[in-house]
Amino acid sequence: MDLKNTLMESLGIEVKTIEKDLVIMTMPVDKRTHQPAGYLHGGANAALAETAASVGAYVNADPEKFNIFGIEINANHVKSKREGIVTAKAIPLHRGKTTMVWEIKIVDESNNLICVSCCTIGIVAKK
């Protein structure tokens, strides 16, 4: 998967696993993903979560026939972090013809829950 010239490249997001039932991605906690006080930015968590959900939807849909777009995302930030790596693990909760819903848990290196998110993805026919 080519991440060049994308938000994912800018944030340092890396793909670890892409399967129909599981997507795993990592992101550094550093100056690219900090908020002004030096903690992991909630928006960076949301970007990581939506990226993992979108990639999961992409591998579950036919990319020749469909575009994948985020429709809705929520993110509950339960723990702060100043440095290191966070890992997003996304699993599908619903795989429909026009929408998919993915649950994404973001954890730190010690498997502490940092953020839990739910993302609805639109599956839109190409014209």
Active site residues: 50
- Residue (of 94, 108, 120, 115) closest to 28 by Cα position: 108
> What is the sign of the dihedral through the CA atoms of 46, 118, 64 and 1?
positive
* Separation in Å, CA 11 to CA 4, 5, 44, 73: 11, 11, 8, 18
> How many residues are recorded in the chain?
127
